[in-house]
């Protein structure tokens, strides 16, 4: 028996095992890292566990029965730091997680065991650094594993990066920078114009999308000029957009209003007084620009009647939820749920569409943030992360024979 084999059979105290194990397995220096943070984020119908690291760790995960367990093996990670008190962060009300435990499984590998209260559908995926967050490994528990089994019975290697399913073609994202030209949009107390902020953020979103392997960006508004609302929808459809994202930074008549919101189309009006007020204000943009919506336009006049609106709204809701979760990591939320409103730009009959109120420009503190380039970059990163997460589980089908055009 080798010296190392004899060593691992010793009943040494944990501290001694860790100290000697690190040295013998080459964990010294930059090869080993501790978790920077651990966050458990339960909701009424799901549980999320986020592990944050300075460097992206390699990992693998597998499920066990009797009782239901999810096992995560993290390579090059020490069982210390934020991981040591992970169990204390768990609440009895968590819908899926019964208990958590962490330990050194073998040299160079820390094992996290999540005991489940019931069978769950599991998603484990990495997130790249965004805003104040470093590399993250995200574990989502939701639904019923019997409905859509994800994990096989044995170990499954999950390399970094990204468990995003292969998309059979580039996904086209229409990015709509709100307002423009003679329609400046809202104005902050310091004179900041909404049209300027939205175009800057939209360009950052485009730049980040173009760095991905799965998406391409189409800008609805490239510069400071006016585009009627219905033409924004038409332009996205001519480009064969798969998703439509409208970016805004609106105002409210109360300067105290703050936080980000994400909206999808409503057939019955706004989900709140603020939503109704904002929708009316945005839909009046054509009047500001000197153009009224042509009631003969097929995509606006018949958008509710001539499409499967329910399906569009359902897909939009999924997309909006992902984006809202990401934005909530870098900014206050006006409401923690997706809102509904009858925004004209959300009425494309066959394109999942969302409208993002990045912040209230009428709030002095949020106006200051909106002019900060670093904060604009964080907003863009959150939007792209939300898009990526949506597409990971909702990849579009191939559409042969179609090419994008904007003319």
Instruction: Render pLDDT for 90-117 as a digit per residue (tens, 0 to 9).
Output: 888 888 999 999 999 888 899 999 999 9
Give the whole-angstrom CA distance, residue 207 versus residue 167.
Answer: 20
At 231, is the pLDDT very low, low, confident or very high (cuts 50, 70, 90)? confident
| Averaged pLDDT for residues 27-35 | 66
**Residue bearing the bigger pLDDT, 9 or 228:** 228
Residue-averaged pLDDT of the chain: 78
Least confident of 81-85, 170-174, 220-224, 264-268: 264-268
| Helix (H) / strand (E) containing 78 | strand 77-81
**Residue bearing the bigger pLDDT, 102 or 304:** 102
Please determine, for residue 34, whether its predicted confidence score (pLDDT) is greater than 90: yes
The residues near 87 (Cβ < 8 Å, ≥ 6 apart) are 99, 100, 101
Residue found by looking up tokens 């490239």 in the block: 222
Check residue 183 and give its pLDDT. Answer: 82
Least confident of 48-62, 87-101, 130-144, 204-218: 130-144
At 349, is the pLDDT very low, low, confident or very high (cuts 50, 70, 90)? low
Check: CB of residue 139 under 8 Å from CB of residue 122.
yes
Q: Report the Cα–Cα distance between both ends of the chain, in Å, rounded.
A: 75
Give the whole-angstrom CA distance, residue 33 versus residue 57.
Answer: 9
Using a pLDDT cut of 90, give the percent of the chain over it.
Answer: 43
Check: CB of residue 169 under 8 Å from CB of residue 239.
no
Check residue 269 and give its pLDDT. Answer: 53
| pLDDT tens by residue, 232-286 | 888 898 899 999 999 999 888 788 889 999 999 876 654 454 555 455 555 555 4
The residues near 314 (Cβ < 8 Å, ≥ 6 apart) are none
DSSP tally for the chain: helices H, then strands E: 10, 17
Please determine, for residue 357, whether its predicted confidence score (pLDDT) is greater than 70: yes
Check residue 50 and give its pLDDT. Answer: 86
The residues near 39 (Cβ < 8 Å, ≥ 6 apart) are 48, 49, 50, 52, 89
Say which DSSP state 376 is in.
H
At 308, is the pLDDT very low, low, confident or very high (cuts 50, 70, 90)? very low
Least confident of 86-95, 98-107, 164-173, 313-322: 164-173
By three-state DSSP, how is residue 334 classified? Answer: coil
The residues near 44 (Cβ < 8 Å, ≥ 6 apart) are 95
Least confident of 145-154, 181-190, 278-287, 351-360: 145-154
At 309, is the pLDDT very low, low, confident or very high (cuts 50, 70, 90)? low
Give the whole-angstrom CA distance, residue 244 versus residue 135.
Answer: 28
Check residue 129 and give its pLDDT. Answer: 83
**Residue bearing the bigger pLDDT, 392 or 22:** 392
| Helix (H) / strand (E) containing 374 | helix 373-393
The residues near 198 (Cβ < 8 Å, ≥ 6 apart) are 177, 178, 179, 185, 247, 248, 249, 358
Check residue 379 and give its pLDDT. Answer: 97
Q: Go through the domains of the chain in sequence order and give each one's CATH number.
A: 3-158 (2.60.40.3500), 171-393 (3.40.630.40)
Check residue 9 and give its pLDDT. Answer: 40
Q: Where are the alpha helices (DSSP H) in 169-241?
A: 194-209, 229-238
Q: How many CA atoms are closer than 13 Å to the CA of 83, on its beta-carbon side?
A: 22
Which one, of 247, 245, 250, 246, lies nearest residue 192 by Cα? 250
At 31, is the pLDDT very low, low, confident or very high (cuts 50, 70, 90)? low
| Averaged pLDDT for residues 350-372 | 93
Check residue 168 and give its pLDDT. Answer: 58
Give Cα separations from 33 to 16, 20, 38, 192 (angstroms).
Answer: 18, 16, 14, 43
Give the whole-angstrom CA distance, residue 213 versus residue 200.
Answer: 23
Give the whole-angstrom CA distance, residue 206 versus residue 172.
Answer: 11
What DSSP assignment string belongs to 99-133?
EEEEEEEETTEEEEEEEESS--EEEEEEE--BTTB
The CA-based diameter of the chain, rounded to the nearest angstrom, is 86
Residue found by looking up tokens 């160079």 in the block: 108
Token code pair at residue 153: 């019975």
Give Cα separations from 76 to 27, 32, 86, 183 (angstroms).
Answer: 7, 5, 18, 54
At 358, is the pLDDT very low, low, confident or very high (cuts 50, 70, 90)? very high
| Averaged pLDDT for residues 139-158 | 52
Give the whole-angstrom CA distance, residue 405 versus residue 407.
Answer: 6
Q: Count CB-CB contacts under 10 A for residue 82.
A: 16
């Amino acid at each position: 028996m080798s010296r190392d084999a004899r060593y691992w059979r010793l009943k040494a105290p944990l501290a001694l095992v860790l100290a000697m194990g690190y040295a013998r397995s080459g964990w010294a220096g930059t090869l080993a890292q501790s978790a920077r943070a651990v966050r458990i984020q339960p909701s009424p119908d799901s549980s999320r566990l986020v592990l944050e690291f300075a460097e992206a760790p390699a990992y693998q995960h597998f499920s066990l029965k009797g009782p239901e367990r999810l096992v995560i093996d993290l390579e090059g990670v020490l069982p210390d730091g934020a991981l040591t008190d992970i169990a204390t962060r768990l609440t009895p009300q968590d819908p899926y997680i019964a208990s958590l435990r962490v330990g050194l499984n073998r040299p160079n590998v820390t094992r996290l065991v999540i005991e489940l209260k019931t069978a769950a559908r599991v998603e484990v995926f990495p997130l790249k650094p965004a805003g104040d967050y470093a590399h993250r490994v995200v574990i989502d528990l939701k639904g019923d594993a019997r409905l859509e089994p994800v994990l096989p019975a044995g170990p499954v290697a999950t390399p970094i990066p990204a468990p995003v399913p292969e998309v059979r073609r580039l996904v086209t994202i229409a990015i709509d920078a709100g307002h423009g030209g003679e329609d400046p949009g809202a104005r902050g107390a310091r004179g900041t114009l909404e049209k300027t902020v939205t175009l800057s953020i939209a360009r950052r979103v485009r730049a980040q999308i173009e760095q991905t392997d799965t998406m391409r960006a189409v800008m609805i508004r490239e510069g400071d000029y006016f585009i009627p609302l219905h033409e924004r929808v038409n332009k996205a459809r001519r480009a064969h957009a798969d998703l439509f994202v409208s970016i805004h930074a609106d105002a409210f008549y109360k300067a105290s209003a703050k936080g980000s919101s994400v909206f999808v189309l409503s057939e019955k009006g706004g989900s709140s007084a603020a939503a109704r007020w904002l929708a009316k204000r945005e839909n009046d943009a054509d009047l500001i620009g000197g153009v009224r919506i042509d009631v003969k336009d097929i995509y606006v006049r018949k958008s509710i009647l001539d499409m499967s609106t329910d399906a569009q709204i359902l897909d939009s809701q999924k997309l909006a939820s992902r984006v809202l979760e990401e934005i909530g990591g870098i900014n206050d939320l006006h409401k923690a749920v997706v809102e509904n409103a009858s925004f004209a730009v959300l009425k494309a009959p066959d394109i999942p569409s969302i409208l993002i109120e990045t912040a209230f420009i009428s709030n002095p503190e949020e106006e200051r943030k909106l002019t900060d380039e670093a904060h604009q970059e964080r907003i863009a990163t959150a939007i792209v992360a939300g898009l990526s997460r949506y597409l990971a589980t909702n990849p579009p089908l191939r559409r042969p024979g179609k090419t994008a055009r904007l003319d």
